[in-house]
Structure 1
Amino acid sequence: MTERPTKKMSETLTVHTTHVLPPDTNNHGTLFGGKLMAYIDNVASITATKMARSPVVTASTDSVDFIKPIRVGDAVKLEAMVTYTGRSSMEIFVKITSEHLLTGKKSIAALSFLTFVALNEQGQPTQIPMVVPETEEERWLNDTAKVRAEHRKRRKKESEQLASYFSHD
């Protein structure tokens, strides 16, 4: 049996920065939550593909915690990285920072965890490398991932039960 390949967390890092313009905002002058969620899914999918080097799909958006509003005129920066891998699935952490461009003041605006699954040519889950943390922050994210994975499994089971309750076909 061959040993499973590894990849450093830092090799999956993807950074995206964009200017928040008026069409991206709501009537409060802050970035639409749905727009930010689209940015999150996009940057996370690039990160997941870097890890798997195969097609990937979003299995779940585990959380998006909006911490501070992102205002028109700000820059919004998303930093995504794979924090944990199973056989074919991977957890992606996205840190969202806003920067007031005129003052340079930066704030954590949101945090998000997503799960992606790597697919082979037939669209079936396929094995991916194991992710290796290097820094203290990376080790913490990796060490705490199993707790989040258990929560995710419980939540999925509850969602499946709820879906069956509402399925009247």
Structure 2
Amino acid sequence: MRSEDTAMRRFIVLLASLLTLLSATALAAPPATTTAAPAATVIKGPEINPQELHIALSSLLLAATKMAIEDAIKRGKAPDSNAAAHVGEPDYLTSNEISSITVHKGGVLQVHFTSAVSPDLTGVWLTPTRAGDSVKWSCISHDIPQITDVESYCSYQPKAH
């Protein structure tokens, strides 16, 4: 098979996946609201807009970046930079909710948010793990204690001082 055919097939698969994700995101209900824990156990974090955080973490921009990482991992080597992942530079990967996406060693993504999400520009780390023929993602925030209330696949892990 010619490399142009392979590239075209990848493009078609990527486009179909993005369209599926876009339609699923557009039809998805906003994140459920939760009842606050008793005051004694509430961890005070930065002020965030949960709906904008949900939009950022389910955005087409982030999904496309994750797909580029997944493709590289499936071909045998996790990228260690935006250039190696064949995605735009960090400050080019932006939206109303995302101020940058940076690819680090092992394909780990660092996502910084705009003030639409939080005036403190908090962020998350998305870590890929190969699981057979697929790639699974975990999401960690070091500064948004309420992240699991917005996205159940994310966890809060404060940095050790």
TM-score interval, normalised by the smaller of the two chains: 0.3 to 0.5
Q: Which has the higher helix share?
A: 2
Q: Which has the higher contact order (CA 8 A, sep 6+)?
A: 1
* TM-score, L = length of structure 1: 0.32
Q: Which has the higher strand share?
A: 1
* TM-score, L = length of structure 2: 0.33
